[in-house]
């Protein structure tokens, strides 16, 4: 089975499991789990932030950021297709009374700065109070440019707004741009990072930011039932991943690139754009239903038009995938 539906599908490797088995633990609700403390300190250090909080999921760490920055009646601005707005159960509205206001991402995965400026509400009691702007990096596999990020940060400072990055895959962005992850975190007040995606952990995310915001988030995490006790067992997988798996993301990007490059030889298969990181999206003209059925028959799972490459996709898997695509191409060629 080759599962390209998501990079969440990675399973822990032997050495990761061994690190988990050997983890020193304590009660993290008492602040006494040395492995969790080490993971939080290490995460803060490499992202260039003062503090970090280990969370159950990316959804939880995004929610904690929103709840920490905003009060009831405040507004946050996010992309129309942003994970935090579309795919997190409306948590900010349900649990925080925080109103979302959405803008379209442009083709580079940015919120256009002019539109952003227009969206910020004036100090007038007819409006909710604009408090926070959320970006995503990577956004649908695309990497936000450094120039854009700097202009964004300047604008946030000028408008006196807070900023949060849904950096579920921010390490993919850092590796693709060959910059330290701290450079990509610097423009934001808080950043949420998934350990359970390309980095290969079975569970867990990290929220990083300043001491005060993370202190609030820690209180809220407890309130949401996210106070975990001997969490060092799972936190050890996070430490292992941050020390061993970041550079491996480059291989996922190469796998996606290899498939993209080869696809240009096929008549029946084309992708919307060359991959910037680990994701490919089928072009609109491809009949994904027919292709996906053929792939499924040959043990390959994809999710709609999205193909995601990750640690559990070997080089041999990529070759097999290309072989099946080539067979499909020969089959349908007379029909095109
Ligand atoms: C996966 C993902 C999340 C949340 O992750 P969970 O750990 O599944 O809650 C947040 N944002 C983006 C962009 C994601 O891809």
Give the Å distance between the CA of 120 and the centre of ligand 1: 26
Q: 27-41, 295-309, 319-333 — which is least confidently predicted?
A: 319-333
Domain boundary among 195, 213, 244: 244
Residue 2 within any structural domain of the chain: no
Last residue of a domain, one of 202, 226, 244: 244
> Are residues 25 and 151 located together in one domain of the fold?
yes
Q: What is the pLDDT of residue 336?
A: 58
Report d(CA 154, CA 160) in Å as an integer: 10
Q: Which atom of ligand 1 is nearest to the CA of 59?
A: 9
Confirm whether 147 is domain-assigned.
Answer: yes
Instruction: Encode pLDDT of 49-94 as tens digits.
Output: 999 999 999 999 999 999 999 999 999 999 999 999 999 999 999 9
Q: Are residues 141 and 287 in the same domain?
A: no
- Whole-number pLDDT of residue 285: 87
- Mean pLDDT across 270-294: 95
- Determine whether the shortest distance from the Cβ of 196 to ligand 1 is under 6 A: yes
CA 59 to ligand 1 center in whole angstroms: 6
pLDDT value at residue 286: 84
Instruction: Give 194 Cα–ligand 1 centroid separation in angstroms.
Output: 7
- pLDDT, mean of residues 292-317: 97
Q: What value does the mean pLDDT take over residues 111-140?
A: 97
Give Cβ neighbours of residue 300 (< 8 Å, ≥ 6 apart).
Answer: 1, 2, 4, 321, 324
Residues 132 and 147 in one domain: yes
Ligand 1 in reach of 277 Cβ (< 6 A): no
Question: Residue 179 sits in which domain range?
Answer: 7-244
Domain boundary among 244, 266, 292: 244
Nearest CA to ligand 1 atom 6: 58
Question: Rounded distance, CA 169 to CA 199, Å?
Answer: 9
Please write the tens of the pLDDT for every residue from 95-123: 999 999 999 999 999 999 999 999 999 99
Q: Ligand 1 mean position to 202 CA, how many Å?
A: 14
Q: Mean pLDDT across the stretch 327-332?
A: 91
User: Under the phi-then-psi rule, with left for phi > 0, alpha for psi from -120 to 50, and beta for the rest, what region is 20?
Assistant: alpha
Q: What is the pTM of this model?
A: 0.97
CB 137 within 8 A of CB 173: yes
The number of folded domains in the chain is: 2
Mutate which of 7, 8, 58, 89 for ligand 1 pocket (most atoms within 8 A of beta carbon): 58
Confidence of residue 2 (pLDDT cuts 50, 70, 90): very high
Inside any domain, residue 306? yes
**Is the minimum distance from the CB of 20 to ligand 1 under 6 angstroms?**
no
325 shares a domain with 223: no
**How many angstroms separate the CA atoms of 167 and 193, rounded?**
5
Tokens of 226: 């996210």
Give the model confidence (pLDDT) of 147-203 as tens digits. 999 999 999 999 999 999 999 999 999 999 999 999 999 999 999 999 999 999 999
Which residue is closest in CA terms to ligand 1's atom 4? 58
CATH of the domain at 236: 3.40.640.10
Q: Are residues 231 and 254 in the same domain?
A: no
Ligand 1, residue 205: give the atom nearest the CA.
7
In the chain, where do the E strands start and end? 2-3, 51-55, 74-79, 99-103, 129-136, 162-166, 190-194, 205-209, 279-281, 300-301, 306-308
Q: What is the whole-number distance in angstroms between the Cα of residue 163 and the centre of ligand 1?
A: 18
Q: What is residue 334's predicted lDDT score, i.e. its pLDDT?
A: 65
Residue 332 banded pLDDT, cuts 50, 70, 90:
confident
Q: Which residue, judged by its Cα, is nearest atom 5 of ligand 1?
A: 58
58 Cβ inside 6 Å of ligand 1: yes
170 and 81 belong to one structural domain: yes
In a domain, 1, yes or no: no
Asked if residue 335 has pLDDT above 70, the reply is: no
Is the beta carbon of 6 within 6 A of some atom in ligand 1? no
Residue 292 has pLDDT above 90, yes or no: yes
């Amino acid at each position: 089975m080759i599962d390209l539906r998501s990079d969440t599908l990675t399973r822990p490797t032997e050495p990761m499991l061994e690190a988990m088995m050997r983890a020193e633990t304590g009660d993290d609700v008492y602040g006494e789990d040395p492995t969790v403390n080490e993971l939080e300190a290490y995460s803060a250090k490499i992202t260039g932030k003062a503090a970090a909080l280990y969370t159950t999921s990316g959804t939880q760490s995004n929610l904690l950021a929103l709840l920490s920055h905003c009060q009831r009646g405040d507004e946050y601005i996010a992309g129309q297709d942003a994970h935090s707005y579309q795919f997190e159960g409306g948590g900010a509205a349900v649990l925080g009374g925080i109103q979302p206001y959405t803008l379209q991402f442009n083709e580079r995965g940015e919120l256009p700065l002019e539109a952003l400026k227009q969206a910020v509400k004036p100090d007038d009691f007819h409006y909710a109070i604009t408090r926070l702007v959320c970006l995503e990096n990577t956004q649908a596999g695309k990497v936000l440019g450094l120039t854009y990020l700097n202009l964004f940060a300047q604008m946030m400072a000028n408008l006196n707004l807070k900023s949060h990055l849904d950096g579920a895959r921010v390490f993919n962005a850092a590796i693709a741009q060959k910059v330290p992850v701290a450079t990509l975190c610097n423009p934001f007040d808080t950043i949420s990072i998934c350990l359970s995606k390309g980095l290969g952990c079975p569970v867990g995310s990290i929220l990083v930011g300043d001491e005060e915001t993370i202190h609030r988030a820690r209180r809220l995490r407890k309130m949401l039932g996210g106070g975990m006790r001997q969490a060092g067992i799972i936190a050890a997988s996070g430490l292992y991943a941050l020390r061993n798996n970041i550079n491996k993301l480059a291989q996922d990007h190469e796998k996606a690139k290899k498939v993209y490059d080869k696809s240009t030889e096929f008549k029946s298969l084309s992708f919307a754009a060359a991959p910037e990181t680990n994701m490919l999206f089928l072009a609109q003209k491809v009949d994904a239903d027919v292709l996906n059925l053929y792939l499924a028959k040959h043990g390959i799972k994809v999710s709609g038009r999205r193909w995601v490459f990750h640690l559990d996709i070997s080089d041999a898997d990529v070759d097999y995938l290309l072989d099946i695509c080539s067979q499909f191409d020969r089959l349908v060629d007379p029909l095109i």
